[in-house]
Structure 1
Amino acid sequence: MSLVTIELFFGMLVFCAQVTWRKPWYLPLAAAAAFAYDWMYFPLIGTIDSGPVSALTITCKSLYYLGSFALMVVALRCCAYITWLEALVIAVAGYAVQHLSYNVFALMMNVLDVHHVSLHINSTVVHIALFALVCLAIYAVIGRRIAIDEHKIRARYGWVVACVAAMVLMVVFSMVFVQRKPMAVQTVGFLYDSLCMTLMLMLVLLASTNDQLRSDLIAMQQADRLKAQHYEMAKENIEQINIRCHDIRKLVGSLYADDGRMPTPEMIREVENNIRIYDSMFHTGNDSLDVLLTEKGLYCSRHGIAFTCMADGRSLDFMERSDLYSLFGNILDNALESAQQVEDTGKRVVNLSVQRDGGLLVIHEENYYAAEHAPIFKNGMPMTTKSDKANHGLGTRSIAWQTRKYHGELTMKATDGVFSLGIVIPIPA
């Protein structure tokens, strides 16, 4: 029985260590679908393999492989929280694993025959054992610490397409020019095919994955940046509160002069303006969010930015504190930086809302931006306008990463001088 679809299924799992699955029982269902597909095509493939090579046999096998590939892409997309593009690349990598394991099996059987070693073994058992060893080896070396990333795929779209095309050519080359040749030619062909497929697989992974170690390094750099900003902001806020308290004490003392004159409206208004600093204190029901919003509110008060926020902090209880602080910290940092660049003081406004809508967490942020600093979008994400692109733009990428971590959807757009960000995240039951 042909096991291509089943092998493809397990080959894909090699690169799914960082994938989050929708339901535990979806995977066995996908495996059953792969087995049923192979079982349905078993009589046809057996007939094709036993006959001569022709255009009809090549077409039939190609359709079988294509159907197997399409079935696994759909199954992976339905079973995991990934995009279609990510599922497509994972399936391509899984097919490379399947093809490599077949080449290893064919090479081993050819070598045994060439040396006239007489072994009474079940070829199917050997094939399965070698496939398992190849999967374990690739998983141990690279599969366990990489994650397919749609943004990297789109950024290196040409490389990915070229590598996938080369892999397809390798499969066709093996099927048409190698498998029916004399044993010595087959051995050289399988070896060459394996080397080329390995190279193409490595290029595809380099072009479309995030290494976990690199992701951790970026996260550490982001955390260090936030800590530095937090320290500077906290120091400025303490200084501002001390100054305001001193001013309030003096103003209250001067409200009623020694000569008994009543306080003027201007004097009362000045006291109110100094007390207004305490309007920046937030009580949303989530302590971590309260601290962050209060810090940003004090910063806005000091820099002439109107900051309004309506937040249901209790709906954020499912998020880790570090993730919450990173997500909202980056959202507000980007918004405040943009608002400060607006010359019209009446448009230095940042609006944030966090609410629960049924089983969804809905986050929405809006702010004005200066025309000369209008964001430039690429693949739905604003690109940094700073010259040092390696160390900037991390905030936007972090927002996207945090959203995907909680299986949410992120949208950003800029229209008529207003930048808006929307995030929808399913709230765990």
Structure 2
Amino acid sequence: MAGSLYFWEMLLPALGLCLPLNRREKSLWKAVACMITGVVLLMVIMKLAQTKYEGTLISMGENIMFSMMMLGWFLVIWSLVIGCIYFFVQCSLREAMYIFALSYGVEHIFYCIRLLTEWLTGGHIGNTAPLIYLPCMAGSFLLAYFWFAKGAAYQGTYLLEGISASTSSIVLIAVVWGLSIVAGELNYAHIHSIYAIPCCIFMLSSQREQLRREIERTEFTKKEQLWEKTKLRYEMSKESMAVVNQHYHDMKHQLMALSTMSDEDKRKAKLLDMESRIAAYEAVVKTGNEILDTVLTEKKLTCQINHIAFSCIADGAQLSFMDELDIYTLFGNALDNAIEANRKIENAKNRWISVQIQRKKGIILIELINPYQGTVDFDESRMPVTSKADRESHGFGTKSIRSIIEKYDGQMIIKTEGQKYLIRMIFQGKG
């Protein structure tokens, strides 16, 4: 009975730590198979111990064989829990051992709380009494999931590459376990509990903070890469637009000169040729915001190439409160998504994008609408789930949009209706 209780004491915090992580295919069946195998081995060891030492009170030092059997008992349970972790979530054996070390730290906190309760009540409330045992079991799971895992996991995994203290944490847990065994044999378990609780809390806290810093570092690296790419695209777009504007004005003057040509046929042929060339430059958008003009013109030219109708009613002056690169990144990502959705529509007559930027009743409203083909799935936070294989890379564009909106205390609403995809951004009027 004690063996099965200890197994569940270890498994519950491990489950809490694994909940936010990516699961393996058929993970439940694999974990159950591992559990059954381990339970059988555990029962064999316990049966051998009961047969050989039943009714005999001995200490670890009095019987080497008994001590080895007890060590084997612990190793079977630990291996069982590590195996369940390994087969349940997508992780390496090293990562499974790291998660186990964390779960042991959580379990040991509540084990020590039970021992202290027993000691403080003079044994009236035993450490396995339901009054204290059940709340501690529940507490170990809740602490592991809500306090640790929920804020330390990143996209279904723990970022262990930059965690320098993972090995030392496992060593620390081993030391704590060894001291708890020795203290128990010497009847000083309550003294051990007093220093073991803060020791485990310190270890768990340091690991949680390191994991969170690793998440921040990863996010910063991705944003920095996106920033550099956006900056490069913006500079290229500015240069391209300068050339477009120069050609546009040159061609206007050429048209005026051609209008005085005496050869009617040549004049008409030249005019038709130049008018067709000018049509491409009519993509230039003027909104009153140079940065917005750049990105909208760039995307409008892309729309022309892909036979996508592009309509824009925009008061760019309303975006003066935003940083230049934020404007470029925000509209660049949103319009790239809209263009990609239109490309999937076979009939070019059904391709279109609508952009509106206006101020209404003290708020700045931005709306981008486009048609789409197929279905759009959303995650728990109402963010669209990309259909591309490289989910992490492509999903970051939408996250970047949301990040910029939140930077300016705005709101974002994404919804679909009648095969139309709408992204609405709302900002409080600035000034």
Normalised TM-score (structure 1)? 0.50
- Report the TM-score when normalising by structure 2: 0.50
Structure with greater Cα Rg: 2
